[in-house]
Amino acid sequence: MTGRDWEMVGAPNARDLGGLVGAGGRRVRPARLIRTPALGRLTDEDLPVLTKLGLACVVDLRDGSEIAVAPTDRLVGEPRVVHLPVHDPEHPVFTYVSAVLLGHDLDAYAELARQGTAGAMAEIYRWFVTGESARVGFAEAVRLAAAPENLPLVYHCSAGKDRTGWLTVILLTVLGVDEAAIRAEYLRNNALTDSLRAVIVEAMRRRQPELDVDAVLPVLEVRPEYLDAGYQEVRRVHGSFDGYLRDGLGLTDETLTALREHLLE
């Protein structure tokens, strides 16, 4: 299967990590690791794509409170579904993103908008590195991906760009993909969701004519400075990404080796 075989209308930024060049020039195996947004908006036409993929495991990084207010993931077959909530109720930007995506009232977030949502997003990426539920959730997701019985594995959060994006950074770094290629893969989100973003902003404008688009766009996009904030926090706290993998996430040589063994051609 190629990435083109499984493009999905209800998950425009879904993509296969296969084909990226990893350690020793070996490529990431296709149709093994798939990153997506939440799967509750898949169309009937999207479902045969999942059938063809033959999912073994679905990792959901959302908190129960996010899952409760969103459409139920549409899945086929009987993949193992693992919930690993990477969520901090102290960070309002988590619920703000969900509120934007689901068309909820944003009045409660006026203070966040005043403080600056771009700054809040960068803060979230720093929290990805140090937050307790982030370290636990991301580490367990890597362990799941390193076990062949869980492949093909799909992983997602709500919009499929931030928590999903940072987990992708972790996985690709372990697999030896270089940082420039990881960054390019991360930033692909914006082009893939361009039309969706326009629809969301227009719908919000109709409900709230006074909408401050500049406050909303930072949570609908990925930006280089968000990724930079995560990388800088890794260096600040752990000195290197390898230190983060071992000390921050508690990943063993055995797990890291297994991930490379099963996911590189």
Q: In what order do the strands lie in the sheet with 33-36?
A: 15-16, 33-36, 153-156, 57-60, 80-83
Residue 125, classified by CB atoms within 10 Å of its CB into exposed (0-12), middle (13-18) or buried (19+), is: buried
Dihedral sign computed on CA atoms, order 261, 154, 139, 94: positive
Residues catalogued as catalytic: 157
Residues 6+ away with beta carbon under 8 Å from 253: none
Let me know: does 237 contact 244? Beta carbons within 8 Å: yes
Answer whether the bond into residue 89 is a cis peptide, omega within 30°: no
Nearest CA to 233 among 146, 126, 137, 135? 126
Q: Which helix or strand (DSSP H or E) is residue 155 part of?
A: strand 153-156
